[in-house]
Amino acid sequence: MATKTKEYLAEVRKKTGLSDYKISQEYDINQSNLSKYKSGKSALSETHAWLFASILGLSPAEVVVNTKIEQAKINKNKVKLKFWQEQFENISNDSESLKINIAQINPIVGDINNNAKQIIDLSLKAFDSSVNLLLFPELALIGYPPEDLLLREGFIDQVEHAIEHIRTQLPESMSIVFGAPTRSAGFLYNSAYLIQYGKIHTYHKQYLPNYGVFDEKRYFKQGNKPFVFECGGRRIGLVVCEDAWNAEPVSMAVDFGAQTIISLNASPFQVGKHEERLKVIKKRVLENKVDFIYVNMVGGQDELVFDGGSFAMNADGEVTQQFPFFQAITQNLNTLIEVNTNEPVEKTLYDALVLSTKDYINKNSVFNGAIIGLSGGIDSALTLAIAVDALGSNNVQAVMMPYNYTSSMSLEDAKAQASSMSVDYQEINIHPMVGSFNMQLSSLFVGTEIDATEENLQARIRGTLLMAISNKSGKIVLTTSNKSEMAVGYATLYGDMSGGFAPLKDIAKTMVYRLAKYRNTLNYVIPGRVIDREPSAELAPSQIDSDSLPPYNELDAILMLFIEQNQSVSHIIRQGYNPDTVKSISQMVLNNEYKRRQSAPGPKVSPNAFGKERRYPMTSKFQP
């Protein structure tokens, strides 16, 4: 249906924030003509149609045709009405051939020049394929989250220079949308940029998340206006990430004439996140009867991992295109991609850990590979598999460091896995070093019993050796502790906690077993005995984890309630768990915050991860 003059005028009011009187002054429009436009007694002149199209970012042809139809109706000229209606149909048919590509890219935070080059290269490639509109994720130019880079002197200067460079490199008939910060009147905005017909337009994100891993209000000011543009005869509205989780920004764009909503996102992965996105976007779609395109980032960034999974949804709430997860890809929305959205959680988690490990090491170019202290236990076995899948066997080294309490089974299984995964494998017997340490400390420990002190010496010697190899080789040490152990402090500070990245930091022990079994379905690399045996740190004779901890299925269930769901001790006890066990475990969690504060970063995959997300005081007397 053709848009009327008074509707265009209403949109100009919204876009400019000006009254009719101010519009007449600002744009040199006769007040009498403006009154007729407002009342519907007159259609826009061709001159004013072009003016309004420029203000609203619309195709002048579309606006002129609509006003010609309106004039013909007012003048009751059937011949002209028929002619201009045919032209309107031609424009509408052209919109059906609109080619939109999504560039689900993996930018590097702060790598402005190379990110800009990627945007330009993909845009030119899309242009050669007759693509009308290319879409990139939120803050694609600078990566997400940029954090305090935004406060650095000169950072925004580089951003602005890069945006202008992108503009000059694009053909005028090519339209692209990408995310970048905007500096205006002393404020920063998280913006979506449209470059079209050689001009730059911006939309400012209206809802700034400030929870969990997000702290955007530290850096950005909120926008308050919708943005709608025309491309290929289609009216398109822009929103950015959190905007779509709120009703108002989408409805504002639709009220402004949007037929399709595009949302640029840097939405981090956690278990169940994609299903949550689909549910929220479907709600927005059905509320507004509008098509929706969701563009997400992919890649690892410190403790966050972005899963991609971009998609398109029609006005009936049906997903018409689903992009793959954990994979950078540029694809046309009209080209069918086969993506399995019902994969087991173990595969999704494993893919997330591999990508985050790969990106953390490769994006930090100071490292040329990874080292793992391979113990013959389940945690180091899974970590080795992740490292090899992330980096390739030629870039991974495994070091076994046996002592008196290391079983022959552990030695055999560690060597077998290293061989099956074709990694460099070395053994260093730490017996003489442990003996030397104990001898030097013996005079200080006279009259004391052997306890965890002597056990921790073994772990700390191993940590020192791994760090020495790391210094010499340039490879990063991957720590192997899981979330269950980190929660209760069942890890040695400056020992097995030594290292630069912890792939399993947010993975509960019970899930470690599930992931190991999943990895063996791809090809058998983790010896079955490693999965089936009773877990042990092997720091004392006949030691097993259950000497110090409840069974892991019980421990993880309690930790899920206490950490993930923030439930009180009394609530957890009411769920049927032993009161003494719950009190003991909760106290262990609280007592070991100081350890976790010194632990290596690791990928967040749960709703409440240690590190960037969970911020708990080390010094506190509160009893939950």
Rounded percentage of the chain residues whose pLDDT exceeds 70: 96
Under a CB-based contact definition with an 8 Å cutoff, are residues 536 and 512 in contact? Answer: no
Residue 173 lies in a domain: yes
Tell me whether residue 89 is exposed, middle or buried, using C-beta atoms within 10 angstroms of its C-beta: 0 to 12, 13 to 18, 19 or more. exposed
Q: Of the candidates 280, 313, 342, which is a domain's last residue?
A: 342
Closest alpha carbon to 482 in 602, 588, 587, 574 = 602
* pLDDT category of residue 94 using cuts at 50, 70 and 90: low
326 compared with 607, residue with greater pLDDT: 326
**Residues 217, 193 within the same domain:** yes
CATH code of the domain in which 483 resides? 3.40.50.620
DSSP string, 230-262: EETTEEEEEEEGGGGGSHHHHHHHHHTT-SEEE
Q: What is the pLDDT of residue 540?
A: 65
Q: Is 484 found in the same domain as 387?
A: yes
pLDDT at 602 over 80: yes
Least confident among 195-209, 429-443, 544-558: 544-558
Distance CA 208, CA 157 (A): 23
CA–CA distance, 452 with 448 (Å, rounded to integer): 12
More confident residue, 394 or 79: 394
Instruction: Taking residues 158-171, report their average pLDDT.
Output: 94
> Is 618 a member of any domain?
no
CATH number, residue 118: 3.60.110.10
pLDDT above 90 (res 2): no
Is residue 207 domain-resident? Answer: yes
d(CA 563, CA 565): 6
pLDDT (mean) for 100-119: 95
How many angstroms separate the CA atoms of 601 and 217, rounded?
A: 24
Cβ–Cβ under 8 Å, residues 416 and 527? yes
Q: Over 50: is that where the pLDDT of 381 sits?
A: yes
How much is the average pLDDT of 49-59? 75
Residues 118, 148, single domain; the answer is yes
Q: Whole-structure pTM over 0.85, yes or no?
A: no
From 342, 358, 373, the end of a domain falls on: 342
Find the range with the poorest average confidence among 21-25, 353-357, 431-435, 553-557. 21-25
C-alpha distances in angstroms, 147 versus 139, 152, 213, 445, 475? Answer: 12, 10, 11, 47, 27
Q: How many residues does the chain have?
A: 624
Among residues 68, 205, 363, 509, the one annotated as catalytic is 205
Number of structural domains in the chain: 3
Do the domain assignments include residue 616?
A: no
Catalytic annotation present for 564: no
CA–CA distances in Å: residue 169 to residues 114, 136, 155, 179: 14, 16, 21, 17
Q: What is the CA radius of gyration of the chain?
A: 30
Question: Pick the residue with more confidence: 50 or 429?
Answer: 429
Q: What pLDDT is stored for residue 537 in this prediction? A: 63
Q: Are residues 371 and 429 in the same domain?
A: yes
In a domain, 469, yes or no: yes
Q: What is the CATH number of the domain that holds 36?
A: 1.10.260
CA separation, residue 466 to residues 299, 371, 425, 519 (Å):
28, 7, 13, 26
Residue 617's pLDDT band, with cuts at 50, 70 and 90, is: confident
313 and 415 in one domain?
Answer: no
SS3 annotation, 271-284:
CCHHHHHHHHHHHH
305 and 281 within one domain:
yes
Catalytic choice (6, 68, 230, 241): 241
Between 580 and 15, residue with greater pLDDT: 580
Looking at the structure, tell me whether residues 211 and 323 fall in a common domain. Answer: yes
DSSP character string of 331-342: EETTS-----S-
Residue 63 pLDDT exceeds 90 = no
pLDDT the model gives residue 1: 46
Statement to judge: residues 477 and 533 lie in one domain = yes
8 Å CB contact between 298 and 269 = no
Domain endpoint, select from 289, 316, 342: 342
Distance CA 168, CA 170 (A): 6
Lowest mean pLDDT across 113-127, 150-164, 205-219, 456-470: 205-219
Decide if 382 contacts 512 (C-beta within 8 A).
yes
**Same domain flag for 205 and 162:** yes
pLDDT exceeds cutoff 60 at 327: yes
- Structural domain contains residue 620: no
Which domain does 63 fall in, by range?
5-95
**Lowest mean pLDDT segment, chosen from 508-517, 556-565, 607-616:** 607-616
* Run of H or E including 591: helix 579-591
Residues 280 and 368 in one domain: no
One domain for residues 114 and 152: yes
Lowest average pLDDT, out of 135-149, 183-197, 207-221, 536-550, goes to 536-550
Give the integer Cα–Cα distance in Å for 175 and 187.
27
pLDDT at 89: 67
Among residues 11, 62, 138, 242, which one is catalytic? 138
User: Is 220 a member of any domain?
Assistant: yes
Q: pLDDT class for 618, splitting at 50, 70, 90?
A: confident
CA dihedral 387, 391, 397, 398 (to 10 degrees): 20
Please state the rounded mean pLDDT for residues 341-354: 92
- Is 405 within the bounds of a domain? yes
pLDDT tens for 283-309 read 999 999 999 999 999 999 999 999 999
234 and 143 part of one domain: yes
Is residue 138 among the annotated active site residues?
Answer: yes
Residue-level pLDDT at 91: 62
